[in-house]
Amino acid sequence: MELIFTKKLTKMDIERALVLPPRESNLRLLQPFHGTIELPTIFESAAGNRLVGPVTIHCSTRAGDLVFTTGWYALARDAGLRSGDTVTFYQEVNGEARYKFKLRNGGSS
Protein backbone atom coordinates (compact mmCIF):
# COMPACT_ATOMS: atom_id res chain seq x y z
CA MET A 1 0.00 0.00 0.00
CA GLU A 2 1.20 3.48 -0.80
CA LEU A 3 -0.22 6.45 1.12
CA ILE A 4 -1.85 9.15 -1.01
CA PHE A 5 -3.37 11.41 1.69
CA THR A 6 -4.85 11.65 5.17
CA LYS A 7 -7.57 14.18 6.00
CA LYS A 8 -9.69 15.09 9.02
CA LEU A 9 -13.20 15.52 7.63
CA THR A 10 -15.28 18.66 7.88
CA LYS A 11 -19.04 19.01 7.52
CA MET A 12 -18.51 20.35 3.97
CA ASP A 13 -16.40 17.30 3.04
CA ILE A 14 -19.26 15.01 4.00
CA GLU A 15 -22.20 16.99 2.63
CA ARG A 16 -20.76 18.23 -0.67
CA ALA A 17 -17.47 16.86 -1.94
CA LEU A 18 -14.12 15.85 -0.49
CA VAL A 19 -11.44 18.34 -1.52
CA LEU A 20 -8.10 16.53 -1.46
CA PRO A 21 -5.38 18.16 0.64
CA PRO A 22 -2.79 19.48 -1.85
CA ARG A 23 0.28 19.93 0.33
CA GLU A 24 0.34 16.94 2.62
CA SER A 25 -0.46 14.36 0.01
CA ASN A 26 1.03 12.14 -2.61
CA LEU A 27 -1.42 13.12 -5.36
CA ARG A 28 1.06 12.24 -8.10
CA LEU A 29 -0.24 8.67 -7.63
CA LEU A 30 -3.52 9.86 -9.12
CA GLN A 31 -2.10 10.12 -12.62
CA PRO A 32 -2.38 13.54 -14.26
CA PHE A 33 -5.72 13.89 -15.98
CA HIS A 34 -8.19 16.39 -17.36
CA GLY A 35 -11.89 16.09 -16.57
CA THR A 36 -12.96 13.16 -14.41
CA ILE A 37 -11.47 9.76 -13.61
CA GLU A 38 -13.11 6.82 -11.83
CA LEU A 39 -11.40 5.34 -8.78
CA PRO A 40 -12.53 1.82 -7.78
CA THR A 41 -12.28 1.98 -3.98
CA ILE A 42 -12.69 -0.21 -0.88
CA PHE A 43 -13.64 1.45 2.43
CA GLU A 44 -12.50 -0.10 5.74
CA SER A 45 -12.49 0.73 9.42
CA ALA A 46 -9.14 1.22 11.17
CA ALA A 47 -9.50 -2.39 12.35
CA GLY A 48 -9.70 -3.60 8.74
CA ASN A 49 -13.44 -4.37 8.66
CA ARG A 50 -15.11 -3.50 5.36
CA LEU A 51 -17.72 -0.79 5.88
CA VAL A 52 -19.26 -0.82 2.41
CA GLY A 53 -18.67 -2.87 -0.71
CA PRO A 54 -16.29 -1.73 -3.45
CA VAL A 55 -17.49 1.58 -4.88
CA THR A 56 -16.43 3.86 -7.69
CA ILE A 57 -15.61 7.43 -6.71
CA HIS A 58 -15.21 10.10 -9.36
CA CYS A 59 -12.24 12.41 -8.96
CA SER A 60 -12.34 15.70 -10.82
CA THR A 61 -10.65 19.06 -10.81
CA ARG A 62 -12.45 22.07 -9.36
CA ALA A 63 -10.78 25.49 -9.09
CA GLY A 64 -7.39 23.81 -9.41
CA ASP A 65 -8.03 21.28 -6.62
CA LEU A 66 -8.67 17.56 -6.92
CA VAL A 67 -12.14 16.73 -5.59
CA PHE A 68 -13.98 13.46 -4.91
CA THR A 69 -17.51 14.00 -6.18
CA THR A 70 -19.92 11.39 -7.56
CA GLY A 71 -19.88 8.34 -5.35
CA TRP A 72 -18.28 10.15 -2.41
CA TYR A 73 -21.52 11.45 -0.87
CA ALA A 74 -23.16 7.99 -0.91
CA LEU A 75 -19.99 6.44 0.50
CA ALA A 76 -19.83 9.01 3.31
CA ARG A 77 -23.51 8.43 4.14
CA ASP A 78 -23.35 4.62 3.95
CA ALA A 79 -20.17 4.46 6.07
CA GLY A 80 -21.69 6.83 8.65
CA LEU A 81 -18.91 9.42 8.35
CA ARG A 82 -19.04 12.45 10.63
CA SER A 83 -17.18 15.72 10.92
CA GLY A 84 -13.98 15.05 12.88
CA ASP A 85 -13.45 11.55 11.46
CA THR A 86 -10.13 10.98 9.72
CA VAL A 87 -9.80 9.16 6.41
CA THR A 88 -6.59 7.83 4.92
CA PHE A 89 -6.51 7.05 1.21
CA TYR A 90 -4.06 4.49 -0.19
CA GLN A 91 -3.20 3.08 -3.57
CA GLU A 92 -3.45 -0.68 -3.31
CA VAL A 93 -3.85 -2.95 -6.29
CA ASN A 94 -5.90 -6.06 -5.59
CA GLY A 95 -8.63 -8.02 -7.35
CA GLU A 96 -11.46 -5.68 -6.39
CA ALA A 97 -10.10 -2.14 -6.44
CA ARG A 98 -6.98 -0.01 -6.94
CA TYR A 99 -7.58 2.23 -3.93
CA LYS A 100 -8.51 1.91 -0.27
CA PHE A 101 -9.90 4.29 2.34
CA LYS A 102 -9.33 3.61 6.03
CA LEU A 103 -11.49 5.38 8.60
CA ARG A 104 -10.58 6.48 12.09
CA ASN A 105 -13.56 7.86 14.00
CA GLY A 106 -13.15 11.27 15.60
CA GLY A 107 -13.23 9.73 19.09
CA SER A 108 -10.62 7.08 18.23
CA SER A 109 -6.89 7.40 18.86
Buried residues in 75-102 as b, exposed as e (16+ CB within 10 A): bbeebebeeebebbbbeeeeeebebbbb
Tens of pLDDT, residue by residue over 92-104, are 776 667 788 888 8
108 domain-assigned: no
Q: How does the average pLDDT of the chain come out, rounded?
A: 79
34, 91, 82, 44: CA torsion to nearest 10: 140
Tens of pLDDT, residue by residue over 48-78, are 888 777 788 888 877 777 888 888 888 888 8
In this predicted structure, the answer to whether residue 43 has a pLDDT above a threshold of 90 is no
109 domain-assigned: no
Residue 1: the pLDDT is 76
Provide the percentage of residues in the chain whose pLDDT is more than 70: 80
38 or 30, which is more confident = 38
71 domain-assigned: yes
pTM above 0.75, yes or no: yes
72 domain-assigned: yes
Residue 10: the pLDDT is 93
37 domain-assigned: yes
107 domain-assigned: no
Number of domains comprising the chain:
1
22 domain-assigned: yes
Asked if 85 and 101 touch (Cβ cutoff 8 Å), the reply is no
56 domain-assigned: yes
Q: Which residues pair with 59 in a beta bridge?
A: 37, 68
CATH number of the domain residue 57 falls in: 2.40.330.10
In this predicted structure, the answer to whether residue 19 has a pLDDT above a threshold of 70 is yes
Give the pLDDT band (50/70/90) at residue 11: very high
- For 54, the domain range is 1-102
